[in-house]
A and B are shown apart, each in its own frame.
Chain A
Amino acid sequence: MMMKQYVLVHGGCHGAWSWYKVKPLLERSGHRVTVVDLTASGVNVSRVEEIQTLEDLAKPLLDVLDSFGYDDKVILVAHSLGGIPAALAADMFASKISVAVFVTSFMPDTRNPPSYVFEKHVGTISEKERMNLEFGSYGTNDRPLMTVLLGPKYLEKMYLLSPIEDFELAKALVRVTPAITSNLTGTKSLTEQGYGSINRVYIVCGEDKGLSVDYQRWIIENSPVKEVMEIKDADHMPMFSKPLELCDCLLKIADKYA
Chain B
Amino acid sequence: MQTQHMQQQQLHHFVFVHGSCHGAWCWFKLAAKLKGDKVRLVSEHLEPLMSFMESLPENEKVVLVGHSYGGIGTSLAMERFPTKVSVGIFLSAYMPHHDSPPAVLIQEYFKRLPEGFAMDSAFTFEEGPEHPPSSVLFGTSFMKEKAYSNCQLEDLELAMALVKSSWLYAKEMGGEDLISKERYGSGKRVFIVCEGDNVLPEEIQKWMISNYEPNEVKRIEEAGHMAMLTKPQQLSQLLQEIAAKYN
Binding site for B on A (CB under 8 A): 15-17, 19-21, 23-24, 35, 37, 42-43, 163-169, 172-173
> What CA separation (Å) do A112 and B157 show in the bound complex?
38
B interface, CB within 8 angstroms of A: 23-25, 27-29, 31-32, 35-36, 43, 153-155, 157-158, 161-164
User: Is A43 in contact with B162, judged by CB distance below 8 angstroms?
Assistant: yes
Cβ 8 A contact of A165, one of B23, B29, B162:
B29
Q: Is the CB of A20 within 8 A of B161?
A: yes
Please count the residue pairs between chain A and chain B whose beta carbons lie under 8 angstroms apart in the complex: 56
The 4 closest A-B pairs by CB, nearest first: A20-B158, A169-B28, A168-B31, A17-B161
Judged by DSSP, the binding face of A is helix
Does A17 lie within 8 Å of B162, measured CB to CB?
yes
User: Known contacts A17-B161, A35-B161: does B29 contact A172 (CB below 8 Å)?
Assistant: no
A37 to B23, CA, bound (A): 17
Task: Indicate if the CB atoms of B23 and A172 lie closer than 8 Å.
Answer: yes
Q: Inside 8 A of B27's CB, which chain A residues have their CB?
A: 172
Tell me, in angstroms, the Cα distance from A172 to B32 when the chains sit together.
12
Residue of A nearest to B153 (CB): A24
A172 and B43 contact, CB distance less than 8 A: yes
Contacts of B155 in A (CB 8 A): 20
Q: Is the CB of B31 within 8 A of A42?
A: no
| Residue contact A20 to B154, C-beta cutoff 8 Å | yes
Q: Report A155 CB to chain B, min CB distance, Å.
A: 13
Q: For B164, what are the chain A residues with a Cβ–Cβ distance below 8 Å?
A: 43
**Minimal Cβ-Cβ distance residue in B for A163:** B32
- The distance in angstroms between the C-alpha atoms of A17 and B161, with both chains bound, is 5
Q: A17-B158, A43-B164, A173-B25 are in contact. Are A165 and B32 (CB under 8 A)?
A: yes
Of the listed residues A16, A42, A167, A169, the one surrounded by the most CB atoms of chain B closer than 10 A to its CB is: A169
| Cross-interface CB contact of A164 among B25, B32, B154, B157, cutoff 8 Å | B32
A157–B46 alpha-carbon span in the complex (Å): 31
Of the candidates B23, B31, B43, B157, which one forms a contact with A20 in the assembled complex, judged by CB atoms under 8 Å apart? Answer: B157
Q: Is the CB of B154 within 8 A of A21?
A: yes
In whole angstroms, what is the CA distance A214 to B27 when docked?
A: 36
A15 to B158, CA, bound (A): 10
- Complex CA–CA separation, A24 to B27 (angstroms): 21
